């Protein structure tokens, strides 16, 4: 086996990288991509659900974790557990080194120029709340506009709504076409003299649309408007380079990139973060405190009040090392093969309609099956060991755009196989049989 096809487990940057997984029969989908070997790194995949081998196709909600991530967290708790940036003892020094190292890993992952521009948060939801609170609120005036798109997850709607309610600002929304692609002309038309910030998802969680964020940022900057990119669904599939994008803010969640829950990061341009007031007050984020007034710590600590999720950060660094060792381009190629196979297999099923057919699409299929509620589809698939999500996907405005209360969504990750795509199609044929009775 060439180094190129080696499972990344052993090369993880985590201090506790586990032994390489045992070689498994190879079943390459994309050239040089040994998916069976990759699967061997994920303990949770090797179980059955309702008596069937698990086909985990709910990666848009969260991903399973490779052994390297689990081991990194266990190693931290077994050896290095201490608070950071305060102890003078050996454990605290190790914990601090691991935590700072994790920030450097995130900085590299995002292509950020400086670790000062990387703020650890719980995830995308907290990142957007931080920006809406600390960047937008102090600047917004009555009649100012926040420009979003019809494809946004609630996490990129509600924080702005809260800021708008308090300031008298209004939300403007870029519509999409029947394929689920943003109408760029409409975007340009809506970018007006009152637009104060643009918030856009890099990839839609409900439809899979990859949005033209680079062009959107360029157009916004031409008018002096900053842009926040919600990268929750992009980070697992697309190589991110915040400098090439020139975005002002970029957010992602660790748990969707094969890392732990409760940890993610907000990238923000230093000049913007510097000018923003703190989001939360407490320890870690101050320079000096008196009862009269306090002064703030330097970036990024100003935005990290309290004891951070140190173990989560260590796990996230291991996850980043894992996907980078595998290669984001190779992951994307593998997932594209799965997307094409799923699109073709589902197109063959009578009464099934795929919702979201953008030309540039990430690896998920959202669909409705005539005469069957999406929740029933999800439940019958679950009985066959196939995990999907059914519902509005926390993107109610998109559902409304397509006149649907819900869809069923299968979202693929780096460990999914063509056999699982076939299982999904077979499972859906079974759903039709059940409802034909
Ligand atoms: N933005 C997008 C585009 C998302 O898909 C999600 C989560 C979030 C923000 C929020 O991320 P969090 O980590 O802060 O919760 N999306 C989904 C999903 O599609 N199914 O479950 C969660």
CA–CA gap between residue 223 and residue 217 (Å, rounded): 10
Cβ-based neighbours of 288, under 8 Å, separated by 6 or more: 294, 295
Indicate the SS3 state at residue 1: coil
- Reply yes or no on whether the pLDDT at 204 is more than 60: yes
- Confidence class for position 437, pLDDT limits 50, 70, 90: confident
Which residue among 81, 176, 247, 394 is the active-site one?
394
- 353 burial type by CB count under 10 A (0-12 exposed, 13-18 middle, 19+ buried): middle
DSSP type of residue 277: P
Mean pLDDT over each residue of the chain, to the nearest integer = 93
Phi first, then psi, for residue 33 (nearest 5°) are -110, 110
- The pLDDT assigned to 239 comes to 95
Q: Which of 126, 151, 155 to mutate to test the pocket of ligand 1 (most atoms within 8 A of CB)?
A: 155
**Out of 7-16, 152-161, 375-384, least confident range:** 7-16
| pLDDT tens per residue across span 390-402 | 999 999 999 999 9
Q: In this structure, which CATH number among 3.40.109.10, 3.40.50.620, 3.40.640.10, 3.40.50.11610 belongs to the domain 90-323?
A: 3.40.640.10
Task: Please report, rounded to a whole number, the percentage of residues in the chain having pLDDT higher than 90.
Answer: 91
CA–CA gap between residue 405 and residue 161 (Å, rounded): 22
Contact of 201 with 211, CB cutoff 8 Å: yes
- The pLDDT assigned to 31 comes to 61
Distance 135 CA to ligand 1 centre (A): 22
CA–CA gap between residue 37 and residue 223 (Å, rounded): 49
- The pLDDT assigned to 352 comes to 97
Provide mean pLDDT across the span 353-364.
98
Looking up tokens 């990139």 gives 257
For ligand 1, which residues put their CB under 6 angstroms from it?
A: 60-61, 123-125, 153, 155-156, 201, 205, 230, 232-233, 253, 389, 393-394
Ligand 1, atom 15, lies closest to the CA of: 125
Contact of 387 with 56, CB cutoff 8 Å: yes
Strands 227-230 and 249-253: parallel
**Helix (H) or strand (E) run with residue 185 in it:** helix 184-190
CA–CA gap between residue 41 and residue 69 (Å, rounded): 10
Looking up tokens 């340009």 gives 188
CA 220 to centroid of chain Cα atoms:
23
Ligand 1, atom 17, lies closest to the CA of: 61
**Residue 140 Ramachandran class (φ > 0 left, ψ -120 to 50 alpha, else beta):** beta
Q: Which of 319, 394, 395, 398 to mutate to test the pocket of ligand 1 (most atoms within 8 A of CB)?
A: 394
CA–CA gap between residue 231 and residue 250 (Å, rounded): 6
- Reply yes or no on whether the pLDDT at 27 is more than 60: no
CA–CA gap between residue 342 and residue 63 (Å, rounded): 19
Where in the chain are all domains bearing CATH 3.90.1150.10? Answer: 328-436
| pLDDT tens per residue across span 70-101 | 999 999 999 999 999 988 999 999 999 999 99
| pLDDT tens per residue across span 281-305 | 999 999 999 999 999 999 999 999 9
- The pLDDT assigned to 30 comes to 54
DSSP type of residue 136: I
394 in catalytic set: yes
Supply the angle between the helices 310-326 and 67-75 in degrees, to the nearest 10: 150
Distance 61 CA to ligand 1 centre (A): 6
Where in the chain are all domains bearing CATH 3.40.640.10? Answer: 90-323
- The pLDDT assigned to 26 comes to 37
Q: Which of 202, 213, 232, 262 to mutate to test the pocket of ligand 1 (most atoms within 8 A of CB)?
A: 232
- Confidence class for position 29, pLDDT limits 50, 70, 90: very low
- The pLDDT assigned to 260 comes to 98
Class of domain 328-436: alpha beta
| pLDDT tens per residue across span 316-343 | 999 999 999 999 999 999 999 999 999 9
Strands 145-149 and 195-201: parallel
CA–CA gap between residue 402 and residue 392 (Å, rounded): 11
Looking up tokens 């829950």 gives 261
- Confidence class for position 19, pLDDT limits 50, 70, 90: very low
Query: CB atoms < 10 A from the CB of 271, how many?
Result: 9
| pLDDT tens per residue across span 158-188 | 999 999 999 999 999 999 999 999 999 999 9
Predicted model pTM? 0.93
- The pLDDT assigned to 17 comes to 34
| pLDDT tens per residue across span 46-58 | 999 999 999 999 9
Provide mean pLDDT across the span 107-131.
98
Ligand 1, atom 6, lies closest to the CA of: 232
């Amino acid at each position: 086996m060439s180094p190129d096809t080696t499972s990344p487990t052993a090369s993880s940057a985590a201090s506790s990288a586990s032994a390489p997984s045992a070689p498994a029969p190879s079943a390459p989908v994309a050239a040089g991509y040994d998916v069976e070997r990759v699967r061997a790194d994920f303990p949770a995949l090797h179980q059955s659900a309702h008596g069937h081998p698990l086909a985990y196709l709910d990666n848009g909600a969260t991903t399973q974790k490779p052994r390297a991530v689990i081991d990194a967290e266990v190693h931290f708790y077994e050896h290095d557990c201490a608070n950071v940036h305060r102890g003078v003892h050996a454990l605290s020094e190790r914990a601090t080194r691991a935590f700072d190292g994790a920030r450097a890993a995130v900085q590299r992952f995002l292509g950020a120029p400086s670790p000062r521009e990387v703020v650890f948060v719980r995830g995308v939801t907290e990142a957007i709340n931080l920006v809406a609170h600390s960047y937008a609120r102090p600047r917004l005036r009555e009649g100012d506009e926040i420009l979003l798109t019809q494809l946004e997850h609630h996490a990129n709607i509600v924080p702005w709504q809260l800021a708008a309610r308090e300031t008298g600002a209004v939300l403007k929304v870029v519509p999409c076409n029947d394929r689920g692609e943003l109408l760029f002309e409409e975007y340009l038309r809506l970018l007006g003299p009152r637009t104060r910030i643009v918030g856009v998802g890099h990839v839609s969680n409900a439809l899979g649309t990859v949005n033209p964020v680079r062009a959107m940022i360029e157009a916004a900057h031409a008018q002096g408007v900053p842009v926040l990119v919600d990268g929750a669904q992009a980070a697992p599939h697309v190589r991110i380079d915040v400098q090439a994008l020139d975005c002002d803010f970029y957010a992602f969640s660790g748990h969707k990139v094969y890392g732990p829950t409760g940890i993610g990061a907000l990238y923000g341009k230093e000049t913007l973060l510097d000018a923003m007031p703190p989001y939360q007050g407490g320890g870690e984020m101050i320079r000096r405190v008196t009862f009269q007034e306090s002064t703030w710590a330097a970036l990024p600590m100003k935005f990290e009040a309290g004891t951070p999720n140190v173990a989560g950060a260590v796990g996230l660094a291991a996850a980043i090392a894992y996907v980078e060792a595998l290669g984001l381009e190779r992951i994307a190629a593998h997932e594209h093969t799965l997307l094409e196979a799923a699109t073709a297999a589902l197109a063959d099923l009578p009464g099934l309609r795929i919702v979201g057919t953008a030309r540039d699409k990430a690896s998920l299929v959202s669909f409705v099956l005539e005469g069957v509620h999406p929740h029933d589809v999800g439940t019958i698939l679950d009985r066959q060991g196939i995990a999907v999500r059914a519902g509005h996907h926390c993107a109610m405005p998109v559902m409304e755009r397509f006149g649907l209360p819900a869809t069923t969504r299968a979202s693929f990750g780096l460990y999914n196989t063509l056999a699982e795509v076939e299982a999904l199609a077979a499972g859906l044929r079974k759903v039709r049989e059940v409802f034909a009775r």
